[in-house]
């Protein structure tokens, strides 16, 4: 007996396979699916069913986390089409992007060293704007005018930006206490 | 919300039987047990009408153990053998307990978790906690007039894996069937939300005797979704007592107190703190063993001043949690106060000022956690309820592994919704390497030494290959209790080296069953009969569940698959008829195995049905 665990996350949650996503519908689909498979709903049931519920609930949560975050969603859509974004191995980036990265890093370090939480918050807001722009480009490269190479590059860029955001968050946290 | 299509008639031998289930709040200072009776949750009191059981255990000369008020009243006289606030020691070593030298106990530094030397021998915090749980179990069983089917035990949301595991071990040791470990603020949110029909974003501020939790929850149509949680598992009302205690020492110019005098003054300090909730000042009097009389007056302003840093300390996790949830203080619709320490007026004021609204205090902060746990226990045990609700909780601290150079690499980030799993691939470092050492840690810091070490284990039997050729996939699974399990598989050879992580803290399964058997030794004769009865009940409920599943979803099975299930069903009937515990357990195990995929297909079908229903509803 085999179960179809190869079913993709979009069909698992009954959503169209596309980058454009109605987040409210995703939230709702996740809660609906979780309500069926959550271990709490099977706590007084036979062992086999409890094990399966744990597996299914884990998978439903993974689907939600993957689709909710645009970078993860983009990467996942690419992987469904056989494209590996190669974020660990492919580090070649356009020179202007790398320059911009260095500037970001310096600004974060300066703000952290001078203990300015407001400055870090402002940087975080600016970074999120930049990410929104890249995400809009990613939507085009995946949905409207498909260009998988461009999409893969955008995912790699967004991964860099996510790491910067994490650094800002860590810096704020270290300043707060 | 969608109806549950899996719950069928014939769920158990007696479908309408009300199963006895309780929620237990195992607190640092006090513990409670509650249950749902005729539709509403209530705390169970002792024979004197007292709901709170002081979390104090005393080991007597004659080998007896007393728990609660009786133990508490002798605490000053028998400090070394009377253990209070044992929750602080769960899953902790001596070096974790900052004030250990000031405590009247004889600590034994054991690997992983400390132990306490008492006249009844060396006790682990797990055993002491089990004594408290056993007292609550007895109270519940005599109040409800029957054996408990299961219990939900609450833990601070900010408890790490070691502390959770220790709590679960204690419950098992007390002979409780643990339905779920439930986070305390989440339990409070259930009790509060179901009572008030709340919708929107709520904060639960839970300052207990020894722990502080903050949880941010989104309540939407019966779904309690935890967005973020944070806290401090070593900050609580006890620390306020300690500040007052230090103030007394300072004012009276005392030092080098005996364990007995120390305990006495700590009690007076707690009483003074409690008095200041209602009064502007209070007198602190005590007669020490050397005849010295203490007579001081503590006013609210001084109390506020000496404990201000503690109150401020709680606001840091509050900020962190808001940040993680991606919301601002003004997005919060209500702040629910939980835990006896939130009675302090200056705590309420600080929280009110921070959120720009008075906190909600309409539920008894001491009872609300136990009530929420009871409501969940009632659902988990399978009793029918009118409410259809779902709880989506998170893991409080990131899980990671040690990489080169003593750094921690995060595998599962904090605030991930549980259950959650993440797989990571590793490779060998040297040619012909056949073993690999994995170190699992929990915490947010970059350096391994700043995180809590959860487990070390060695993977053996990797086929010898050149460096970097082996691919070992390690899966980290966190279940609905927030507990971690790790498994590993070598991908190139397909060798499944499923490993069990037996953490360095906690007790092994063998330890637990040994202790359990010891504590049950006086009823040894019943054990065999009991085991058979339990095995038969399990087998019958599985059989009934399978039969009803076949009736509704039998079409999901191919003919040969159906035959396998039918054969396994027949084996169950045969085993039950034979009155053989081993045979019954084997048959149950087999039927469970052959129906696993069937269960998965049915759940899949139910998801698709529910989603379709949802889409139609949207149109």
Query: What whole-number distance in Å separates Cα of residue B34 and Cα of residue B53?
Result: 12
- Quick check: A9 contacting B, CB < 8 Å? no
- Quick check: B473 contacting A, CB < 8 Å? no
Query: What whole-number distance in Å separates Cα of residue B472 and Cα of residue B251?
Result: 62
Strand partners of residue B203: B216, B335
User: Structural domains in chain A?
Assistant: 9-68 (1.10.287.110), 95-176 (1.20.1280.20)
Query: What whole-number distance in Å separates Cα of residue A18 and Cα of residue A138?
Result: 11
Q: Which listed CATH number (3.20.20.60, 3.40.1010.20, 3.40.462.10, 3.90.640.10) goes with B237-307?
A: 3.90.640.10
Chain A residues near residue B561 by CB distance under 8 angstroms: 1
CB contact under 8 A, B220 and A14: no
Residue among B154, B192, B151, B198 nearest B36 (CA): B151
Looking at the predicted structure, is the pLDDT value of residue B229 above 80?
Answer: yes
User: Contact, B90 vs B116, CB < 8 A?
Assistant: no
- Quick check: B598 contacting A, CB < 8 Å? yes
**CATH 2.60.34.10 domain locations along chain B:** 395-518
Q: Which listed CATH number (3.40.5.90, 3.40.50.620, 3.30.1370.60, 1.20.1270.10) goes with B524-611?
A: 1.20.1270.10
Strand partners of residue B24: B33, B153
- Quick check: A14 contacting B, CB < 8 Å? yes
Query: Is residue B87 annotated as a catalytic residue, yes or no?
Result: yes
- Closest by Cβ to A29, choosing from B419, B591, B614: B614
Lay out the sheet containing B399-403: strands in order across: B407-412, B399-403, B436-442, B452-459
Helices B161-173 and B509-519 cross at an angle (nearest 10°) of: 30
In this prediction, residue B488 has a pLDDT band, given cuts at 50, 70 and 90, of: confident
Lowest mean pLDDT among A116-120, B217-221, B379-383, B460-464: B460-464
Summarised one tens digit per residue, pLDDT across range B412-454 is 999 999 999 998 888 888 888 888 888 888 988 888 888 888 8
The three-state secondary structure class of B57 is strand
Summarised one tens digit per residue, pLDDT across range B320-375 is 999 899 999 999 999 999 999 999 999 999 999 999 999 998 889 999 999 999 99
Summarised one tens digit per residue, pLDDT across range B492-513 is 776 665 555 555 455 556 666 6
Mean pLDDT of chain B: 87
User: What's the pLDDT at B507?
Assistant: 54
B432/chain A closest Cα distance in angstroms? 25
> Which residues, other chains included, contact B523 with Cβ-Cβ below 8 Å and sequence gap of 6+?
none
Summarised one tens digit per residue, pLDDT across range B10-61 is 344 344 578 999 999 999 999 999 999 988 999 999 999 999 999 999 999 9
- Quick check: B183 contacting A, CB < 8 Å? no
CB contact under 8 A, A45 and B4: no
CB contact under 8 A, A173 and B320: yes
- Quick check: B423 contacting A, CB < 8 Å? no
CB contact under 8 A, A57 and B6: no
B277/chain A closest Cα distance in angstroms? 29
Residue among B5, B134, B12 nearest B381 (CA): B12
Chain A residues near residue B390 by CB distance under 8 angstroms: 31, 34-35, 38, 40-41
- Quick check: A12 contacting B, CB < 8 Å? yes
The three-state secondary structure class of A126 is helix
Q: Which of A36, A52, A88 to probe the B interface (max B CBs under 10 A)?
A: A36
Summarised one tens digit per residue, pLDDT across range A31-85 is 999 999 999 999 888 888 999 999 999 999 999 999 999 999 999 999 999 999 8
Pairing of strands B223-232, B420-426: unpaired
Lowest mean pLDDT among A124-138, B53-67, B395-409, B480-494: B480-494
User: What's the pLDDT at A5?
Assistant: 55
Q: What is the CATH number of domain B1-192+364-382?
A: 3.30.420.40
Mean pLDDT (whole number) for B203-231: 94
Summarised one tens digit per residue, pLDDT across range B241-299 is 999 999 999 999 988 888 788 889 999 999 999 999 999 999 999 999 889 999 999 99
Q: What is the CATH number of domain B395-518?
A: 2.60.34.10
- Closest by Cβ to A33, choosing from B417, B420, B607: B607
User: What's the pLDDT at B8?
Assistant: 39
For chain B, give the percent of residues with pLDDT over 90.
Answer: 57
Summarised one tens digit per residue, pLDDT across range B124-133 is 999 999 999 9
User: What's the pLDDT at B262?
Assistant: 87
- Closest by Cβ to A52, choosing from B11, B420, B603: B603
CB contact under 8 A, A36 and B320: no
**CATH 3.30.420.40 domain locations along chain B:** 1-192+364-382
Summarised one tens digit per residue, pLDDT across range A87-141 is 877 777 888 988 998 999 999 999 988 888 889 989 999 999 999 999 999 999 9
B406 dihedral zone (left: phi>0; alpha: psi -120 to 50; beta): left
**CATH 1.20.1270.10 domain locations along chain B:** 524-611
Residue of B nearest to A56 (CA): B600
Q: Which of residues 552-591 of B touch A (CB under 8 A)?
A: 561, 588, 591
Looking at the predicted structure, is the pLDDT value of residue A1 above 70?
Answer: no
CB contact under 8 A, B592 and A43: no
A2/chain B closest Cα distance in angstroms? 7
ipTM of the prediction:
0.89
Q: Which one of B78, B127, B131, B206 is the catalytic residue?
A: B206
**CATH 3.90.640.10 domain locations along chain B:** 237-307
Q: Which of residues 310-369 of B touch A (CB under 8 A)?
A: 316, 319-320, 323
Query: Is residue B161 annotated as a catalytic residue, yes or no?
Result: no
User: What's the pLDDT at B378?
Assistant: 95
DSSP 8-state code for residue B346: H
């Amino acid at each position: 007996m085999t179960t179809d665990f190869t079913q993709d996350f979009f069909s698992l949650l009954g959503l169209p396979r596309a980058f454009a996503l109605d987040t409210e519908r995703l939230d709702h689909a996740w809660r609906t699916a979780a309500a069926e498979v959550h271990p709490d709903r099977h706590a007084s049931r036979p062992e086999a069913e409890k094990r399966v519920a744990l597996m299914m609930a884990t998978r439903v949560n993974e689907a939600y986390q993957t689709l909710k975050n645009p970078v993860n969603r983009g990467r996942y859509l690419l992987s469904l089409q056989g494209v590996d974004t190669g974020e660990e191995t492919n580090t070649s980036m356009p020179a202007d992007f790398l320059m911009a990265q260095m500037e970001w890093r310096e600004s974060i370090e300066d703000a952290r060293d001078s203990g300015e939480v407001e400055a870090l918050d402002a940087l975080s807001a600016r970074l999120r704007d930049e990410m929104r722009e890249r995400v809009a480009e990613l939507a085009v490269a995946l949905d409207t005018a498909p260009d998988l190479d461009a999409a893969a590059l955008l995912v790699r860029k967004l991964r860099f930006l996510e790491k910067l955001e994490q650094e800002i968050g860590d810096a704020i946290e270290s300043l707060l206490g | 919300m969608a109806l549950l299509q899996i719950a069928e008639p014939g769920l158990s031998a007696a479908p309408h039987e009300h199963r006895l289930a309780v929620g237990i709040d195992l607190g640092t200072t006090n513990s409670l047990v509650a249950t749902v009776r005729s539709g509403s949750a209530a705390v169970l009191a002792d024979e004197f009408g007292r709901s709170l059981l002081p979390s104090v255990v005393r080991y007597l000369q004659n080998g007896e153990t007393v728990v609660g008020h009786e133990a508490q009243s002798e605490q000053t006289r028998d400090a070394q053998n009377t253990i209070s606030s044992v929750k602080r020691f769960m899953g902790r070593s001596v070096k974790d307990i900052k004030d250990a030298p000031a405590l009247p106990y004889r600590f034994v530094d054991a690997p992983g978790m400390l132990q306490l030397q008492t006249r009844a021998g060396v006790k682990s915090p797990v055993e002491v906690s089990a004594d408290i749980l056993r007292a609550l179990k007895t109270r519940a069983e005599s109040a409800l007039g029957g054996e408990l089917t299961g219990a939900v035990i609450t833990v601070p949301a900010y408890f790490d894996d070691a502390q959770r595991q220790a709590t679960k071990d204690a419950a098992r040791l007390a002979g409780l069937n643990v339905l779920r470990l439930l986070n305390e603020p989440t339990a409070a949110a259930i009790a509060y939300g179901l009572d008030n029909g709340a919708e929107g974003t709520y904060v639960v501020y839970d300052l207990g005797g020894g722990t502080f939790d903050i949880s941010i929850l989104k309540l939407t149509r019966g779904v309690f979704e935890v967005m973020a949680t944070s806290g401090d598992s070593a900050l609580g009302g006890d620390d306020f007592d300690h500040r007052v205690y230090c103030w007394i020492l300072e004012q009276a110019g005392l030092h080098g107190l005996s364990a007995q005098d120390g305990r006495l003054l700590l009690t007076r300090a707690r009483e003074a703190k409690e008095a200041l909730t209602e009064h502007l000042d209070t007198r602190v009097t005590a007669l020490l063993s050397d005849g010295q009389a203490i007579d001081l007056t503590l006013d609210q302003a001084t109390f506020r001043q000496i404990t201000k840093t503690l109150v401020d300390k709680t606001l840091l996790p509050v900020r962190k949690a808001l940040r993680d949830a991606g919301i601002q203080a003004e997005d919060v619709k209500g702040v629910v106060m939980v835990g006896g320490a939130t009675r302090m007026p200056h705590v309420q004021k600080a929280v009110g000022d921070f959120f720009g609204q008075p906190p909600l205090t309409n539920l008894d902060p001491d009872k609300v956690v136990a009530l929420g746990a009871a409501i969940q226990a009632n659902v988990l045990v399978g009793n029918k309820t009118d409410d259809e609700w779902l709880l989506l909780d998170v893991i409080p601290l990131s899980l990671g592994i040690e990489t080169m150079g003593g750094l921690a690499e995060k595998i599962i980030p904090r605030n991930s919704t549980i259950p959650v799993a993440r797989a990571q691939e590793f490779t060998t470092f040297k040619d012909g390497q056949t073993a690999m050492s994995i170190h699992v840690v929990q915490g947010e810091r970059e350096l391994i030494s700043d995180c809590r070490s959860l487990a070390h284990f060695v993977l053996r039997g990797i086929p010898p290959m050149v460096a970097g050729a082996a691919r070992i996939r390690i899966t980290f699974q966190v279940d609905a209790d927030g507990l971690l399990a790790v498994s590993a598989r070598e991908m190139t050879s397909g060798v499944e080296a499923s490993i069990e992580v037996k953490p360095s803290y906690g007790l092994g399964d063998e330890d637990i069953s040994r202790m359990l058997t010891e504590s049950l030794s006086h009823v040894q004769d019943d054990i065999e009969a009991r085991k058979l009865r339990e095995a038969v009940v399990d087998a019958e409920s599985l059989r009934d569940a399978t039969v009803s599943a076949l009736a509704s979803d039998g079409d999901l099975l191919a003919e040969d698959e159906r035959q396998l299930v039918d054969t396994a069903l027949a084996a169950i009937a045969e085993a039950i008829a034979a009155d053989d515990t081993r045979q019954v357990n084997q048959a149950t195990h087999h039927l469970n195995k052959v129906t696993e995929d069937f269960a998965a297909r049915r759940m899949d079908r139910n998801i698709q049905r529910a989603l379709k229903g949802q889409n139609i509803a949207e149109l």
